[in-house]
Amino acid sequence: MIETTYIDMDGVLTDFYVGAHDWMGKPVEGFPYDSAYNWAVEAGIDYENFPVNFWIDLPKYKDADKWMDQAKGKIYIATYHTSVNSLVGKTLWVRKHYPQLEKNIIFIRDKWLLAARGRLLIDDNLDLTDKFIEHGGQSLLVPRPWSERELSI
């Protein structure tokens, strides 16, 4: 029984990949299906210096609500902020799209610290979903081009 769900933002609810390319005026040419590929470095995208508005205006994934519907129990957004601007902008993005969760945002990189029996992590990062299970929780890996496990399905 799931009592608490932690759901990620970038790659699950927000399309950071397309949003960052659009912001930089770079064409989106598809992801090369290589987990070691650092697209932000390749495209020269320095997202640590992006302004608050970039984070507020990030596109919402078409399937974001589908993943949100998988959340059970008490729901928290669990995301990592790369800058103060991203912390503020992400909070305002949640206010815009999921206002009921504005006060339920946890800014954290090491999401497995939240893992326990009865807790679910919904995330697009394979390392994070694996570690969450190792630490006693359950996880749901959102398949995206950079989610390595998707390759074997």
Letters for 110-149 (x = contact with Mg ion by CB under 5 A, - = none) are --------------x-------------------------
Among 5, 6, 7, 8, binds Mg ion (CB under 5 A): 8
Question: CB of 37: closest distance to Mg ion in angstroms?
Answer: 16
Closest CA to 41 of 59, 61, 26, 60: 26
| Nearest-angstrom CA–CA distance, 5 and 151 | 26
CB 113, CB 125: distance < 8 Å:
no
Applying CB under 5 A, does 19 fall inside the site for Mg ion?
A: no
Residue among 12 and 52 whose Cβ is closer to Mg ion? 12
> How many of the other CB atoms lie within 10 Å of CB of 18?
13
For residue 15, state whether it binds Mg ion (rule: CB under 5 A).
Answer: no
Q: Tell me the residue ranges of DSSP E strands in 16-104.
A: 74-79
Q: Which is nearer to Mg ion, 10 or 15 (CB)?
A: 10
Among 11, 19, 89, 137, the residue binding Mg ion under the rule CB under 5 A is: 11
CA angle 5, 39, 83 (to 5 degrees): 55
Could you list the residues that contact Mg ion (CB under 5 A)? 8, 10-11, 124
